[in-house]
Chains A and B, each alone.
Chain A
Amino acid sequence: MNDLLAGSSPPAVLLPRDVLPLRRSLFFGLLLLLVGVGTWLMLEALGGPGFGLRRLLILVLFVLLFSQIVFGWCLAFFGFLEWMKGGDAYEASRLFRRMTPPDEPTLPATAIVMPICDEPVARVFSAIRNMWRSLAATGRSGGFDFFVLSDSKNPAVWAAEEQAWFALCKEENAFGRIFYRKRRLSAHGKSGNIADFCRRWGSRYRYMVILDADSVLSGKLLTWLVEAMEANPKAGIIQTMPRLVQGRTLFRRLQQFSASLMGPLFAAGSHYWHFAGGPYWGHNAILRLAPFLASCALPDLPGPGRLRLHIMSHDTVEAALMRKAGYQSWLAYAQEGSYEEGPPNLTESLGRDRRWCQGNLQHFWFLFAPGLRFSSRIHVYAGLLSYVSSPLWLFFLGLTTWEAYDMERFAALGALVRRSGSLADRAAAELLGFTLLLLFLPKLFGLVRGLSRRDSFGGFFHLLASAFLELCFSALLAPILMLFFSRFVLLASFGRQIPWRTQSRTEEGALPLGGVLRDYGPVSLAGGLGLGLAAWGMPFFFWPLFPILFSWLFAAPLAWLTSGARLGDLTRKAGLFLTPEEESPAPELAGLDLREKDADLPQLSQGLLSLVADPYANALHLALLRRREARSGRTRETLEALEARLLLEGPDALGPRELTTLLSDPASVRALHVKLWCSPRSRLHRFWEAAFARPSCTSSPGTDQPR
């Protein structure tokens, strides 16, 4: 590690200034044209007697929502065009040429940072090991240091993390290169954890690669990222395009198939118009630390007192601030070697969306902040609309149903001439066809692209079948998401705070039926009632409403069926939803799918047991606890009482906070070790009995002892 902040800069990469305005005018011109066509058709379709407030609302909502559909279509269309041309000439990997000699063993100092919070320990450290080995294989790992930044609240996870870290360092001889830090106070979640790292060690490194707990980057990609940053001194962020991998449940396999088929097209289309104003997703990306430190500390949101909130979704804001500071943000979508995992089931996916929803709604304030770049505002707007559009769709559906009901009522009363075959009817049919075309063409683009490498997707027929089934799944899922997102937006608007909890990544077993009925039962009930009501009261509007109401009815079975690994495994055996990453997995992913067998739970209890009983683990914990001031007499008494309870009644007798307090005090940690060994069995809870068996008998397969 050396201080390279003051190094000499290479010349800036010549950016295609003339190409960007042309591309943007093409992209947004086509978008406006298509929105215009849709709006005209809508006006025609609404062309009844009078144009009241309801119709005006319908029209305004339509323009807003239709523009979102067209935006998605434009992304896929321009991405498809670029793919047909053989790739974008201005994609980051083609634009940034190598500046450092290929045999240069040491690249500039780069910190690879993985913030974690109560994550599966074996998975986290296996990923670090794979990345470390992959980097070593490039022969250019010299400048890279790894940091595992823990905010874990579960004391057993904390203990297991320490032991796994030490074992990994010993195994790979990586002391002084792989570091571990546990924060005492986990203020401001992940962004606070990263900011804490930056304040302590940021000035030692030129670049920082940010990972999620489920991220994996290949050594080749890591070295390329640093080289690309070196080649372009104005690049502040280079975001890679993570491929979804390791899915076993049907839900995850569907998501990763869809992302693999369509994701690259959308990314290429996105890059088409934003170039150096690309998105940043908060992980699997490299950042230039000097401008990040100087300009990207997150500001508070406006509002008095308790409403002065901290920003939850930091990535978009950080990218906007980086752009504001004059640096670029690139999306290197064509580079291979970036991986992450998706949520295992619909419930976890919705939990993540609820957090993202609140975070994206907070970005509202940045829409109007002076000094932000155009591309940053578009990213903020698109992120905002991805959730706000749901309640707006719901509202739009309500208004159009009301409109249709009134039309039919007036027609029935003879106040209105029935319009069958009229201009308005034709326009409505054309609008429906046009919308469906815009919705399904991106899928077709993805399928065409997939067919060009069909062997990686399981072959021609398997790919066709998978694409068709994925289409059915997404058509069923969209109305369910609309309902849930509407609820999230409403809850967030009323100020309901959401804790940033850890996403469950386990894939063992389907969701419990009781939980599924609790979460999705009301939606299914609403779907069933809606279908009944539509059939009885509005038969003329039954079929337009049917796709939405049917998917609501199907919400509970869909969530349950797709949550289990069994159906996922069956589809894999049948050759469905295969992805190139599944067909030929990268060596960096080797062994990461074994963590279910490792069973983290035994490892966690083993971690706590070792911390108290094992002299090595106890010493490791003591060494990692930074020096503390001696506790006052009264505090000491309280801690001693907790120590006694832990030994006599076992870990379950103490709450996580009590246990954390105890394990944060060096004197208590030492005392627990001494007391455990000196106490007769009669004065110990049976949890500790395993400590007195031979170590080889107590350690589980996934357990790493620090020796």
Chain B
Amino acid sequence: MDLPLLPLTSEVVDSTQLPAESLADWREATARLDAYLARWELADPFYQRLIGTSLLALAIREQKSHPGRPPVELTLKLAQEKVTAWLETLPSGIPEAASSGRAAVAVLRLARIGGLDRWPRAFLSRETPPELAGRLRESGFEAGPAVRFSHMVSRPIDYGPFARLAREAWEQVGWKEVGAILAFWTGVFGVACALYFLFFAP
């Protein structure tokens, strides 16, 4: 563990000197930090507690230079920065990737090999155990095989006489013509009805 635990212990003890009104916020920050570290599921709870204490101590020290920042934000931001920085030091095999992408792949490789189950004390440590580094390099992560594009395009198909008739009908008769024909036959029908009712209706 490379977090400065021992020199900070006295500062942690000094936290009793924190203003009483901020203590509730610091309690929330502590609980949140515990929950965050628990998400990493380190196989060594004692080590996890040590990490938590160190990060909290660092956050308390940081707070002196940023008095306006809420303890939760300060503590968790600090913890996440430390974690991201640590993940980027892990062998990923994709040096060209963006920082967040590299960290994400490192997390997945860790998950895949159960890295923090077997080497919990490697978490946030500057030194990566050689066996862990080797396993990380070996383990790949791929959601799909390498793409090899194929040409698959539909060919026009001859649908036969009905489709030809339908197409020609659509191509040769516009809505105007259809409207004119409808109007014409409506007129003829109307005149026929009028004639019937005027002259032939019983």
Contact = CB atoms under 8 A, between A and B. Distances in A.
A and B: interacting chains? yes
Contact of A616 (B111, B142, B145): B111
Contacts, number: 161
A695 B39 contact: yes
Interface residues of B, number: 56
A381 to B, nearest CB: 14
15 contacts: A170-B111, A181-B143, A198-B150, A201-B144, A202-B152, A302-B166, A303-B167, A619-B105, A623-B105, A623-B108, A627-B98, A670-B100, A674-B80, A677-B36, A706-B111
Interface of B: 25, 28, 31-32, 35-36, 38-41, 70, 72-73, 76-77, 79-80, 83, 98, 100-101, 103-105, 107-108, 111-112, 139-145, 147-163, 166-167, 170-171
Nearest to A165: B143
Interface in A336-389: 364-371
A303 B170 contact: yes
B152 A293 contact: yes
B152 A198 contact: yes
A623 B92 CA distance: 12
Interface string A59-95: 0000000000000000000000000000000000000
A707 interface: yes
Nearest to A307: B170
Contacts of A180: 143-144
Given A200-B149, A302-B166, A371 B158 contact: yes
Where chain A touches its partner, the secondary structure class is: helix
Given A677-B80, A707-B41, A620 B145 contact: no
Interface stretch (A391-399, A521-529, A556-564, A686-694): A686-694
A4 B68 CA distance: 65
Nearest to B74: A678
A678 B76 contact: yes
A654 interface: no
Contact of A674 (B25, B77, B142, B153): B77
B140 A175 contact: yes
Contacts of B155: 295, 297, 299
A84 B145 CA distance: 49
Please classify the interface of chain B as helix (H, G, I), strand (E, B), loop, or mixed, using the class held by over half of its residues.
Answer: helix
A299 B72 contact: no
Interface string A168-208: 00100001100111000000000000010011111110000
Q: Which of B31, B108, B153, B166 has the most CB of A within 10 A?
A: B108
Given A299-B155, A623-B141, A680-B73, A365 B111 contact: no
A195 B156 contact: no
A103 interface: no
Contact of A366 (B31, B70, B153, B159): B159
A679 B72 contact: yes
Contacts of B104: 618-620, 622-623
Interface in A658-704: 666, 670, 674, 677-681, 691-695
Nearest to B169: A304
Given A297-B153, A674-B80, 10 more contacts: A179-B145, A180-B143, A200-B149, A202-B150, A202-B152, A297-B152, A368-B162, A623-B105, A678-B76, A679-B73
